[in-house]
Amino acid sequence: MMKRKWKILLFILIFGAEFALGFYISYVIGYMHSDAISRVANAFYVLYSRDPHLGAIGFVWNPLPSLMELGLLVFYPIMPALATYGLAAVLMSSIFAALTSVLLYSSGRKLGLGAGMSLTIALLYSLNPFVFLFGANGLSDAPYIYFVMYTIIEFCFWLKSRSTGNLIFSAFALAMAFWTRYEAVPLGVALAVGVVIAVFWMHRNYHSPGPTLREKAYKVEATWILLLIPAVFSGLLWIFFNYIIMDNPFYFLNSEYSNVAQSGQLQSDQSFVELFNSPWLALKFIAGKTLWYSAPLFAVLLIRLFTKRLFQGGTLILLLIFISVPGLQFLLLMRESSFGWFRYFMYVFPITVAWLPYELSLVRDRGRKLAFAVVVLSMLITAGLLSYAMTDPNIAPDENNFINMAENEHFEEQALDRSVGAWIDNHLDDNTNILTDSYSAYNLLVSSQNLKRYVITSDYIFETALNDPPGKDIDYILIPKPLPGIPKSAINTLYPDMFEQGNDWATLYHDFDGKWRLYKIKKWIPPQS
C-alpha cells in the first residue's frame, strides 16, 4: 500500500509540474512547437473537418500520438484551447513524463534497490531541465521515451530472470514505440542482436556442457519471435495502410509531405552539403551531438570496469542499443535526409537511464553505494550540460526557442496564423468554401471557429477541387507565400505563380502581412440555352 502511495504522489508531482509549465508556454505565452501542434491538428481533422474520418490523421508521421490526442479532443466543444493552443498535446506529454518517472522508480524497487535510491534516479532524470521541457512541450518524444524505457527495462528483467513474461511486455512496448516514432526500428535491430549475445555468451555455466550450438540457435529464433513479432507486424500493417488508402505503400517515406521531401531544403545549406559528402565529417558531427548525453553511459562503463564486468556481454548489448540512435542519424545524413536536430540524439540518455537500475542491481551491496554515487554524479553532470545547451541557439535551436521568445520566429508565425484564422471567422460567411492545404495551414485551422468552411488536404473532394476550383463551388483559396528550399503546399505546386500574380479565375481579396493571401474565385457561368 505504501509503495502505491509513493507512486501516486510521484505521478501527481511530475504531472502537475509538467502541465503547469506546458500550460504557461502554450496558453499564456501562446507558443507551441510546430511538430506538436501539427499532430494535434491531425487528430482535430478526424473529428471536426468537413469529412470526418480516421484516415484524416495522416500517413506520414506515426499515428499513435494523434490517436491519443483524439480522445482528449472529444472535449473540444467545451474547451476549445485543447486544439487552438494545443493543450491536448501538453496533457499527453505531461502524462507520459509522469508515467516515465513512476516506471523508473518501480523498476528500481523490483530489482531490489532501496526506495531512496530508486526515487533519486527517477527524480534526477525527470527533473533534468532538458527532459522536463519535453514533458511540457507536447511533442511525441515524451510517449516515445516512455515506451523505449519500458522496452529496455523489461528487456533487462529478461536478461536477469529469462522470464517469458518480461519478453512479451518488452515486445509490445517496442511495438508501441514504433507507432510513436520511426526511431524504434534501429532500436529493434539492436535488441535483436542483443538477444544473440545474451543467448550465446551470457549466463554460461562453466561446470556443465550446456546447450549445443543448434539449441542456442533455436533459442534465439524463439526469442526473436516473442520480442519482434509485434513490432514487425506493426510495420507491415503501417505499410499496408499506406498502400490501401494512399495507393503507395511507402507514402510515409517518399511522399511530398515526408521527411525526405522536407529535408530537400538542406541542399541549399553548404554546411549540410559537406556533411552529406563526407562520412568522416558526419561522424564527427554525430559524435559531438551524442556526447552531450553520454555521461551516464561513461558511468556504467566505469562501474563495469571496477567490478570486472566490462568485457561481459551486457556491456556490448548496452553499447549496441546506445549506438542505434546516432547510427540512424548517420544513415540518414548519408541519405541526405536528416536535419540533425539536437533532440534527435537525446534518446541515448533515457536508454542509458533505463539500464541503470539493472546495472546497480548487479553490484554487490558493499560497492552499490559507491556505484550509485557515480551514477548520481553522471546525472548531475548531464543536467548541467543540457541546461547550458538549451541556452545556446547554436547547439539546441529548437529548445532555445522555448526560453528565448524574443528571437523565436516561429512564435511570430503562429501568432500571424491565428490572426488569419480569426480574420476569416470575423469577415467571411460560414457557408463559404475555402480551399487550403493543411500541410502549411494547420495553425490557423485549429484556431478556426468553423473548420468545415475549409476544404483541406484530407477531405474527399480536395483533389478535384484543387484541379478545378471555379467548377467545384470553391469561393476562396488561401495560399501561403512559397519560400526557397521549403516544400511547397499542393496549391503552390499546381499554381506556382498564383501567390504573386493570381490568375484568370482568381483575384486577390486580402493579404496577410505578405505571408498569406486570400484569393476570391470567379465562378464559371454556364452558357444560356
Across 122-156, b (16+ Cβ under 10 Å) vs e yields bbbbbbbbbbbbbbbbbbbbbbbbbbbbbbbbbbb
Q: Please tell me which residue, 258 or 161, carries the higher pLDDT value.
A: 161
Cβ burial of 463 (10 Å; 0-12, 13-18, 19+) is: exposed
pTM of structure? 0.95
Q: How confident is the model at residue 524 (pLDDT cuts 50, 70, 90)?
A: low
Answer for the pair 344, 292: CB distance below 8 angstroms, yes or no. no
- Separation between Cα atoms, residue 182 and residue 177, nearest integer Å: 8
Answer for the pair 138, 32: CB distance below 8 angstroms, yes or no. yes
What pLDDT shows up at residue 202?
80
What pLDDT shows up at residue 206?
47
pLDDT 10s digits, 301-322: 999 999 999 999 999 999 999 9
Q: Please tell me which residue, 146 or 488, carries the higher pLDDT value.
A: 146
Nearest alpha-carbon partner for 257 in 484, 440, 393, 34: 440
What pLDDT shows up at residue 203?
62
Q: Please tell me which residue, 218 or 271, carries the higher pLDDT value.
A: 218
> What share of the chain in percent tops pLDDT 90?
79
What pLDDT shows up at residue 213?
87
Mean pLDDT of the chain: 92
What pLDDT shows up at residue 156?
97
What pLDDT shows up at residue 205?
55
Q: How confident is the model at residue 489 (pLDDT cuts 50, 70, 90)?
A: confident
pLDDT 10s digits, 140-179: 999 999 999 999 999 999 999 999 999 999 999 999 999 9
Answer for the pair 195, 220: CB distance below 8 angstroms, yes or no. yes
Instruction: Name residue, grid cell 557515480.
Output: 374
pLDDT 10s digits, 422-447: 999 999 998 999 999 998 999 999 99
Q: How confident is the model at residue 27 (pLDDT cuts 50, 70, 90)?
A: very high
- Separation between Cα atoms, residue 417 and residue 446, nearest integer Å: 10
Is the pLDDT score of 263 beyond 90? Answer: no
Nearest alpha-carbon partner for 51 in 417, 476, 465: 465
Q: In the predicted model, what is the mean pLDDT of residues 105-119?
A: 95
**Cα-based distances in Å from 94 to 142, 231, 347, 354:** 8, 25, 18, 19
Cα 338 to chain centroid distance, Å, stands at 14
Q: With left for phi above 0 and alpha for psi between -120 and 50, is residue 404 left, alpha or beta?
A: beta
Is the pLDDT score of 359 beyond 80? Answer: yes
What pLDDT shows up at residue 339?
86
Q: In the predicted model, what is the mean pLDDT of residues 183-211?
A: 84
pLDDT 10s digits, 448-457: 999 999 999 9
Is the pLDDT score of 119 beyond 80? Answer: yes
What pLDDT shows up at residue 248?
92
Is the pLDDT score of 291 beyond 50? Answer: yes
What pLDDT shows up at residue 529?
42
pLDDT 10s digits, 198-236: 999 886 554 556 788 888 999 999 999 999 999 999 999
Q: For residue 2, what is its C-alpha cell?
A: 505504501
Instruction: Name residue, grid cell 488508402.
Output: 245
What pLDDT shows up at residue 525?
53
What pLDDT shows up at residue 404?
87
> What share of the chain in percent tops pLDDT 70?
97
- Separation between Cα atoms, residue 294 and residue 283, nearest integer Å: 16
Q: In the predicted model, what is the mean pLDDT of residues 375-402?
A: 96
